[in-house]
Amino acid sequence: MEIQSNFSLKNYNTFGIEAKARQFVAVHTVAELKTILEENKDEQKFILGGGSNMLLTKDIDALVVHIDLKGKTILKEDDDFVWVESQAGETWHDFVLWTIDNNFGGLENMSLIPGNVGTTPVQNIGAYGTEIKDTFVSCEAINIATQEMKTFTNTDCKFGYRESVFKNEVKDQYIITSVIYKLTKRNHKINISYGDITAELAKNNITAPTLKDVSNAVIAIRQSKLPDPKELGNSGSFFKNPILLKSDFEKIHQKFPEMKYYEVSETEVKVPAGWLIEQAGFKGKRFGDAGIHKNQALVLVNYGNATGQEILAVSKDVQKTVFDTFGIQIEAEVNVI
């Protein structure tokens, strides 16, 4: 393991932001990770996974530890289910495709989400009616201060909408090293409740979709709306969809009857942040090399040489305008560093 100094992180964040790490090291095993943590106890540390859910607004004055643990294992299975463990450094989309190739169901609606497996429980990532919490069994994590391993169960993680214990009570205390998912082997619960998926399947004359069909539909939809980070720097959805109390939403809806929404409970409604941003006039707007994608208003992009500060300024402008227009506060889903 070589610790490098003044290391460029441009290729380690999907926004493609040029920022430097004071020191940088990649770890490939849990043993290497324990050694680095133990030997650098007094160093400020910054843990880096796939770099897909962050906006770097400055250089990182710390030891950046890149989690590059690889491997997939079938732990056990019965006639109906299989328990699969993936190391944290596996690319999420590659892992999803592997499960589909093995006819393991449960992750297909989350195809093409950027990032690595280890960060999926942190955000409780989700798409098209599914979330990590639906298939998550547990994860192994290492305590940064003591190097002790701990197992977090589904309940321990306190999953919410793009929330978990790792963003709250134990934030910056643990590094996830592997994750276990319970997936179906038969009687798959095919979820095509979202109109986009239904329309994509119909376009291809598919009436009895397989796991692969659903995955392909999701990939086609995402590729039509979302830019490839390798071609145009971005971090996927920059903002969360706001969840409002029905009583508050009804007052707003009277003023904006065309506003789209989805019921999430008897008392709450989710409003698509992309719709709010588009109605506020930001879709496709460009401010120098920072901007909002032309096909999806939820996605902020780096057209080449934007700084993190410039993209952050655009995001704050979007938030202020949406609030001034609709009285709705939208929160960043991306971690601003």
- pLDDT tens digits for range 289-305: 999 999 889 999 999 89
Sole residue written with tokens 């490098």: 4
Phi, psi of 66 (to 5 degrees): -90, 120
pTM of the model: 0.81
Catalytic residue among 111, 138, 178, 237: 237
Q: Report which residue type is found at 304.
A: G
- Residues 190-242: tens digit of each pLDDT: 888 777 888 889 888 888 899 999 999 999 998 888 888 888 999 888 999 99
Q: Which two tokens stand for residue 230?
A: 């390798």
Mode of pairing for the β-strands spanning 20-27 and 60-67: parallel
Judge contact between 2 and 25, C-beta under 8 A.
Answer: yes
Active site residue 86: no
- Residues 75-90: tens digit of each pLDDT: 999 999 999 999 999 9
Catalytic residue among 111, 131, 162, 310: 162
Q: Report which residue type is found at 217.
A: A
Give residue 265's Cα distance to chain centre: 23
Active site residue 237: yes
CB-neighbour burial class of residue 317 (10 A; exposed 0-12, middle 13-18, buried 19+): middle
In the chain, alpha helices (H): 30-39, 92-101, 120-123, 195-203, 211-225, 246-255, 273-279, 308-326
Active site residue 333: yes
The closest of 11, 19, 41 to 336, measured between CA atoms, is 19
The closest of 105, 122, 253 to 181, measured between CA atoms, is 105
